[in-house]
Amino acid sequence: MPDAHFYRYDDYDRRLVAERVEQFRDQVRRRLAGELTEDQFKPLRLTNGLYLQLHAYMLRIAIPYGTLSSRQLRKLAEISRTYDRGYGHFTTRQNLQLNWIKLEQAPDAIAALAEVDMHSIQTSGNCVRNTTADHFAGAAADEIEDPRVWCEIVRQWSTLHPEFSFLPRKFKIAITGSPNDRAAVRVHDIGLRFWRNGEGEAGFEVIVGGGLGRTPMIGKTLREFLPKDELLAYLEATLRVYNRHGRRDNLFKARIKILVHEIGAEKMREEVEAEYESMKDSALKLAPETIEAIARQFAPPPLQSKRTRVPEVEALKLEDRNFALWLKSNVAPHRAPGHAIVTASLKPAGAPPGDASAAQMEGVADIADAYSFSEIRVSHEQNLVLPHVAIEDLPAVYRALGRLGFAEANIGKITDIIACPGLDYCALANARSIPVAQRISNHFAALARQHDIGDLKIKISGCINACGHHHVGHIGILGVDKNGAELYQISLGGDVDFGHTALGTILGPAVPAERVVEAVDTLVATYLEVRTDGERFVDTYRRIGIQPFKDRVYATV
């Protein structure tokens, strides 16, 4: 029986989480009683997702594959109200961070999470971390297969795998189920992209050695097409090669991206293929029953056939210009006719990107119950997604989101900014991120103008750790500290779209905080003057290069 190493999620994980909560409660008690020093306690709290930031503890809650039920989201709201200051921050890692947790209450907060099968346990250490997926998984019109099924297969394989608990460094995998990458697969240790080959078979493109942080790299394709049932064998071969050759002598050089960079993609491919040859027919080949059993856990909701053309929607489009814009930017095609995917924007003008109050979380949970089969997704762009909305319900959903302040028609636009917590919260920061995002989004708040400017992704990090993904922003903004002053380094042309993945190029000397909006405005003005029909900001940049932008910005700033 080849697939005996797969288990039922519930029993095993529930027990594990319950044990961990009680263990942590005891550890916290001993720390508060002075029986444990901070040095002894710190690794224990980090394992439980509890960080000490500038002015409070922060709890990082995992949202596997970015998928939440309304019941879970309500619980998150309750936890943020009971144990925090009534709001939370959805992150680029598809996590929720609570910023004001008290140590003495942290075990209760974690126990409350366990009531809805959630946890904050970071599979920390140098193992295979939580695998991330496309946030439109299971709904997108362009999807070939639900990537969460494969995330779960990878999770179960790697959790129980003794050989890979002590890798040279942590290891992150991302999977997209459609040819249009929404999971940034080229900037992960391993990225997997589903596609169909000439024979119509579905399989993966395997991409290795990407990553951001202080040494950003774009992943290289090791295998154009891997039949899907061979996934685990191929991953295992890749990890073995990494385990054998990855550098353990230098923390900053230990990621697989450095190995691939140093030995080259060609040599890496040879090594992996040789390893793979020796094991591809092993027990790791996935039986169809296993794949089906796991797929059942991600079964789509019972969607009924719905009208595809709805007069009320057409009428409202003519009546309410913002609704028409919202349909364009915040509503994406669903694979079931008569349905759509709605993105709730957590970026109303002037708000901290990705923050939601407890009341807003409850509001979204209510909308999901009424209109989206109680399902919610968290996107790595720090928004919430209602994956299964009937087109005829779009006006109602738009109004309900509007009451929460989440109906801004700005998805993918210049105010849909990704920003890390920065110096307002983070102990590692050089400069603030959130206030910069707020100033930019206030400046560009007018929706008609945003839609005229078109798709433009701004990403902001407060330090080189790149939690805000600034390397892959069309406009990337990185906070640096120069003799105590906040300066911002601007880069252009980063991209995570498939086929165009690129790291940004630095525009020039960093600009002072109070000049950032002006600089962005100048970049946009330059683009608007020279763009040709249908060209997005990043397309224009690719066509004309950095110089025209540079000349303009440094002439005025």
Partner 1 sequence: MAKNLRGDLQVASANRLVDGMVVFLDAAAQWTDRLDRADVARDEKAAERLLERARAESATVVDPFLVAVTEDGAGRIEPLSLREKIRAAGLTFAAIAAESVRYA
**Start-end of H helices in 183-334:** 231-245, 256-263, 265-277, 288-297, 311-319, 321-330
Q: Which is nearer to partner 1, 287 or 359 (CB)?
A: 359
Q: Which does 92 bind (CB under 5 to 8 A by kind): ligand SF4, partner 1, ligand HEM, none?
A: ligand HEM
- Cα distances from 173 to residues 3, 191, 219, 335, 450, in angstroms, run 21, 6, 12, 25, 34
How many Å apart are CA 77 and CA 265, to the nearest integer?
46
Residue 180 contacts residue 196 (beta carbons within 8 Å): no
22 binds partner 1 (CB under 8 A): no
Residues in the chain: 557
Under DSSP, is residue 532 helix (H, G, I), strand (E, B) or coil? Answer: coil
120 binds partner 1 (CB under 8 A): no
Q: Which does 114 bind (CB under 5 to 8 A by kind): ligand SF4, ligand HEM, partner 1, none?
A: none
Comparing CA positions, the residue from 96, 131, 56 lying closest to residue 426 is 56
Q: Which does 274 bind (CB under 5 to 8 A by kind): ligand SF4, partner 1, ligand HEM, none?
A: none
Q: Which does 403 bind (CB under 5 to 8 A by kind): ligand HEM, ligand SF4, partner 1, none?
A: partner 1
Residue 453 contacts residue 510 (beta carbons within 8 Å): no
Neighbouring C-beta atoms of residue 313, cutoff 10 Å: 19
64 binds ligand SF4 (CB under 6 A): no
403 binds partner 1 (CB under 8 A): yes
216 binds ligand SF4 (CB under 6 A): no
Helix, strand, coil fractions of the chain, as percent rounded to 5:
45, 20, 35
Stretch that binds ligand HEM, among 80-88, 290-298, 394-402, 459-467 (CB under 6 A): 459-467
Residues 413 to 472 in contact with partner 1, rule: CB under 8 A: 423-425, 429, 432, 434-435, 438
Stretch that binds ligand HEM, among 76-84, 363-371, 465-473, 497-505 (CB under 6 A): 465-473
At its nearest, how many Å lie between partner 1 and the CB of residue 437?
10
How many Å apart are CA 305 and CA 451, to the nearest integer?
32
How many Å apart are CA 472 and CA 460, to the nearest integer?
10
463 binds ligand SF4 (CB under 6 A): yes
Q: Which is nearer to ligand SF4, 254 or 466 (CB)?
A: 466
Under DSSP, is residue 311 helix (H, G, I), strand (E, B) or coil? Answer: helix
Q: Which does 311 bind (CB under 5 to 8 A by kind): partner 1, ligand HEM, ligand SF4, none?
A: none
Q: Which of 441, 461, 489, 526 binds ligand SF4 (CB under 6 A)?
A: 461
Stretch that binds ligand SF4, among 16-24, 244-252, 465-473, 488-496 (CB under 6 A): 465-473
User: Going by C-beta distance under 8 Å and a sequence separation of 6 or more, which residues neighbour residue 205?
Assistant: 192, 193, 195, 221, 223, 224, 225, 226
Stretch that binds partner 1, among 32-40, 308-316, 322-330, 541-549 (CB under 8 A): 32-40
Stretch that binds ligand SF4, among 177-185, 309-317, 324-332, 416-424 (CB under 6 A): 416-424
467 binds ligand HEM (CB under 6 A): yes
56 binds partner 1 (CB under 8 A): yes
Q: Which of 93, 186, 223, 339 binds ligand HEM (CB under 6 A)?
A: 93
Q: Which of 211, 219, 395, 422 binds ligand SF4 (CB under 6 A)?
A: 422
Beta strands 95-101; 132-133: pairing state: unpaired
| CA pseudo-torsion sign 433, 435, 437, 440 | negative
Q: Which does 400 bind (CB under 5 to 8 A by kind): ligand HEM, ligand SF4, partner 1, none?
A: partner 1
Q: Which does 462 bind (CB under 5 to 8 A by kind): ligand HEM, ligand SF4, partner 1, none?
A: ligand SF4
Beta strands 355-357; 57-62: pairing state: unpaired
Comparing CA positions, the residue from 221, 276, 260 lying closest to residue 499 is 221
Residue 423 contacts residue 462 (beta carbons within 8 Å): yes
**For residue 383, what are the β-bridge partners?**
none
Residue 343 contacts residue 326 (beta carbons within 8 Å): no
Site residues, ligand SF4 (CB under 6 A)? 420-422, 426, 428-429, 461-463, 465-468
Site residues, partner 1 (CB under 8 A)? 31-32, 34, 38, 52-57, 80-81, 85-87, 101-104, 351-352, 355-360, 363, 400, 403-405, 423-425, 429, 432, 434-435, 438, 484, 486
Site residues, ligand HEM (CB under 6 A)? 51, 53, 91-93, 97, 187, 211-213, 420-421, 425-426, 428, 465-467
